[in-house]
Amino acid sequence: MRDTTCSGLHATEVIIDLLTDSGTGAMSAEQWAGMMRGDESYAGSRSFFRFESVVKDITGFDQVIPTHQGRAAEKILFSVAVKDGDVVPNNTHFDTTRANVEYQGAEARDLVIAEGRDPSVILPFKGNMDTEALRATIEEVGADRIPMVMLTVTNNSGGGQPVSMENVRAVRAVCDEYGLPLIFDACRFAENAWFVKIREDGYEDKTPKEIAQEMFSYGDGATMSAKKDGLANIGGFLALNDTEWALEARNILILTEGFPTYGGLAGYDLEAIAVGLEEVLDENYLRYRIRSTEYLADKVHGAGVPIVLPAGGHAVYIDAAAMLPHIPPHEYPAQSLAIELYRTGGVRGVEIGTVMFGTRDPDGGPDNPAAMELVRLAIPRRMYTQSHIDYTAEVVIDVAGRSDELAGYRITEQAPWLRHFTCTFEPMA
Ligand X SMILES: Cc1ncc(COP(=O)(O)O)c(C=O)c1O
Which residue ranges make up the site for ligand X (CB under 6 A)? 22, 69-71, 94, 96-97, 152, 156, 185, 187, 225, 227, 236
Pairing relation of β-strands 16-17 and 347-348? parallel
Contact 93, 101 (CB under 8 A): yes
What separation in angstroms does the CA of 404 have from each of 5, 6, 42, 267, 326? 22, 22, 58, 52, 8
Report, in Å, the least distance between residue 390 CB and ligand X.
26
Contact 303, 83 (CB under 8 A): no
Contact 368, 330 (CB under 8 A): no
Report, in Å, the least distance between residue 309 CB and ligand X.
20
Closer residue to ligand X (CB): 133 or 418: 418
Closer residue to ligand X (CB): 370 or 399: 370
- φ, ψ at 303 (rounded to 5°): -90, 10
Report, in Å, the least distance between residue 326 CB and ligand X.
31
Report, in Å, the least distance between residue 225 CB and ligand X.
3
**CA–CA dist 323, 307 (Å, integer):** 9
Q: Provide the residue type at 113 as one letter.
A: I
Closer residue to ligand X (CB): 193 or 393: 193
Contact 34, 235 (CB under 8 A): no
Report, in Å, the least distance between residue 188 CB and ligand X.
7
Contacts of 87 (CB under 8 A, 6+ apart): 106, 107, 109, 137, 141, 145, 146
Longest dimension (CA), the chain: 60
Give burial (CB, 10 Å; 0-12/13-18/19+) of 3: middle
Closer residue to ligand X (CB): 235 or 408: 235
Report, in Å, the least distance between residue 316 CB and ligand X.
15
Closer residue to ligand X (CB): 162 or 236: 236
Report, in Å, the least distance between residue 166 CB and ligand X.
21
Report, in Å, the least distance between residue 95 CB and ligand X.
8
Report, in Å, the least distance between residue 191 CB and ligand X.
11
Residue closest to ligand X (Cβ) = 70
Closer residue to ligand X (CB): 110 or 185: 185
Closer residue to ligand X (CB): 164 or 403: 164
Closer residue to ligand X (CB): 45 or 69: 69
Closer residue to ligand X (CB): 352 or 395: 352
Report, in Å, the least distance between residue 185 CB and ligand X.
5
Report, in Å, the least distance between residue 292 CB and ligand X.
18
Closer residue to ligand X (CB): 69 or 164: 69
Closer residue to ligand X (CB): 69 or 336: 69
